[in-house]
């Protein structure tokens, strides 16, 4: 009887996976077409509303040749030249190829995609939109400070609240201020200064329309808005999801300053030998599956530039309405701030941060973890929800395999968000114990 039941369960599991595969292929093939159509719709809308053709990342990458301190790229029969400086070389290296190299479902299934290789010269693939942005930055052109027509036009101001809290993707400082901050003890509040950071492009931080939102830009913003003005010399870091990458980079940049490192659901996927890091990580993080729902949302955000821009147009540009509806229906402050954090960004900020931070740093994370292991003496604690369907628990154990002294705490019956939300009192006490035990470091 047990054998029959096991075979039945295996049959249904196999059938479920097959249905998910077929349905996912069908849905994402339609989304491939939709994003293609929206590309041209947005080009026309941008021209009519902003009187300028705006570049996007849909045009195929072209071979770029470096020589004499220049980049030469051919696009639609015209040659564009950008003169490289040391800073622009670094900026180019920080740009993830997943911005402009995302093969469609049909292309992947038919195995028609090709990899470009340079032979005997400095050749690489680059997108014309990136070249145009670099031309403007290097040439000293002043970009418009106004947001694009499809983005929110809220007045921008800073929120600053000697512990650094770094939120995750499409979130904000409220992820910490509305959950943990009210639950810290009086002793902790009198002992530590808490800084909940709104990352560049999120929450109430600036959202420059022409920024590429690279790792360097995010770290520079943290330095200019928090570390320098408040003379932060020694600090603890608490980071969630995407914020874990920035936390590691910040720790590497200030190895003598970090007292403890607490990472929640770090998105670390070791890259198999022979795989291209950025593309591999994009497939792992956004597998183009309709279920679970959070994977479907990640796939929309990661693969489809214009579909995700449309979502931002409908949601983020009209965030006041959604906030009002949420407050009216739920009357629950926790749910309200989650919606506010989800809506308070622009497509430009979300799109570039997703690709240039999560995907673009795939080849750097190993070196960051090795530096934390070898050069930093701080404690490393990792929390992960057992039911996290976006970042699997294996990611935290992958970090531990790289930093053996790291302690991994798996929280049962909690997911990517409820690892904090819903257990804020308990987590606040746990953090206080971590900071207290780290005073000797």
Residue 98 near residue 359, CB atoms below 8 Å: yes
- Is the per-residue pLDDT at 1 higher than 80? no
Average pLDDT on 111-120 reads 47
Q: Is there a cis peptide before residue 234, judged by omega within 30 degrees of 0?
A: no
pLDDT, tens only, 41-75: 998 998 888 887 777 888 766 555 555 555 555 55
- Asked if residue 117 has pLDDT above 50, the reply is no
> What residues are labeled active site?
167, 241, 388, 416
Mean pLDDT of 189-197: 95
User: What pLDDT, on the 0 to 100 scale, is given for residue 131?
Assistant: 65
Predicted confidence band of residue 115 (pLDDT cuts 50, 70, 90): very low
Interatomic CA distance for residues 154 and 147, integer angstroms:
9
Beta strands in 52-140, from DSSP E residues, in sequence order = 62-67, 70-75, 78-83, 123-126
Residue 37 has pLDDT above 90, yes or no: yes
Contact 53/40 with Cβ under 8 angstroms?
no
Q: What is the pLDDT of residue 148?
A: 79
In the sheet with 78-83, reading across from the earlier edge strand, the strands are: 78-83, 70-75, 62-67, 123-126
Q: Please state the three-class secondary structure of 148-208 as a single string.
A: CCCCCCCCCCCCCCCEEEECCCCCCCHHHHCCCHHHCCHHHHHHCCEEEECCCCECCCCCC
User: What number is the average pLDDT over the span 191-196?
Assistant: 95
Residue (of 202, 197, 203, 204) closest to 163 by Cα position:
197
DSSP readout, 273-337?
Answer: TTS-HHHHHHHHH----SSSHHHHHHHHHHH-HHHHHHHHHHHTTTHHHHHHHHHHHH--HHHHH
Of residues 207 and 53, which shows the higher confidence score? 207
- Three-state DSSP class for 126? strand
pLDDT at 158: 38
In this structure, the number of other CB atoms found within 10 A of the CB of residue 441 comes to 13
**pLDDT tens digits for 128-161?**
677 666 655 544 444 455 677 888 776 554 333 3
Average pLDDT, the chain: 84
- Residue 129: the pLDDT is 73
Q: Is the pLDDT of residue 287 over 50?
A: yes
Secondary structure letter of residue 231 according to DSSP: T
pLDDT score recorded for residue 139: 47
Residue 424 predicted with pLDDT over 60: yes
pLDDT of residue 138: 43
Q: What residues contact residue 174 under an 8 Å CB cut-off, 6+ apart?
A: 196, 203, 337, 340, 341
Helix (H, G, I), strand (E, B) or coil at 371: helix
Q: What is the pLDDT of residue 113?
A: 47
Query: How is the chain split among helix, strand and coil, in percent rounded to 5?
Result: 50, 15, 40
What is the predicted pLDDT for the residue at 50?
Answer: 83
């Amino acid at each position: 009887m047990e054998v029959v039941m096991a075979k039945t369960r295996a049959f249904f599991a196999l059938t479920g996976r097959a249905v998910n595969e077929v349905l996912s292929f069908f849905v994402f093939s339609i989304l491939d077409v939709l994003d293609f159509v929206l590309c041209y719709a947005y080009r026309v809308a941008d021209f009519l509303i902003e009187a300028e053709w705006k570049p996007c990342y849909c045009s195929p990458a072209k071979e770029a040749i470096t020589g004499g301190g220049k980049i030469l790229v051919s696009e639609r029969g015209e040659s564009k030249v950008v003169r490289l400086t040391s800073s622009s070389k670094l900026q180019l290296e920080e740009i993830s190829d997943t911005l402009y190299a995302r093969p469609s479902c049909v292309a992947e299934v038919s195995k028609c995609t090709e990899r470009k290789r340079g032979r005997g010269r400095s050749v690489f693939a680059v997108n014309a939109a990136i070249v145009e942005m670099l031309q403007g930055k290097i040439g000293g052109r002043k970009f418009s400070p106004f947001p694009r027509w499809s983005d929110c036009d809220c007045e921008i101001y800073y929120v600053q609240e000697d512990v650094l809290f770094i939120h995750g993707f499409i979130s904000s400082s409220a992820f910490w201020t509305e959950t943990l901050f009210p639950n810290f003890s009086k002793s902790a509040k009198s002992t530590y200064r808490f800084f909940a950071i709104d990352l560049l492009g999120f929450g109430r931080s600036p959202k420059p329309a022409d920024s590429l939102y690279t790792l360097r830009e995010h770290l520079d913003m943290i330095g200019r808005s928090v570390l320098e003005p408040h003379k932060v010399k020694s600090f603890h870091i608490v980071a969630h999801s995407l914020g874990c990458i920035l936390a590691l980079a910040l720790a590497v940049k200030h190895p003598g300053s970090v007292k403890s490192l607490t990472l929640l659901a770090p998105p670390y996927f070791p890259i198999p030998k022979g795989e291209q890091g950025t593309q591999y990580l994009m497939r792992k993080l956004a597998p183009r599956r309709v279920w679970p729902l959070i994977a479907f949302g990640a796939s929309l955000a990661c693969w489809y530039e214009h579909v995700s821009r449309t979502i931002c147009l409908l949601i983020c540009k009209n965030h006041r309405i959604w906030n009002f509806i949420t407050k009216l229906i739920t009357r629950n402050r926790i749910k309200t701030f989650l919606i506010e954090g989800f809506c308070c960004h622009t497509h430009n900020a979300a799109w570039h941060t997703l690709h240039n931070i999560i995907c673009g740093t795939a080849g750097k994370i190993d070196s960051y973890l090795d530096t934390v292991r070898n050069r930093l003496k701080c404690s490393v604690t990792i929390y992960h929800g057992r039911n996290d369907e976006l970042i699997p628990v294996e990611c935290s154990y992958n970090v531990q395999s790289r930093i053996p002294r790291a302690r991994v705490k798996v929280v049962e019956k909690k997911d990517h968000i409820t690892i904090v939300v819903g257990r804020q009192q308990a987590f606040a006490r746990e953090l206080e114990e971590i900071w207290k035990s780290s005073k000797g470091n």
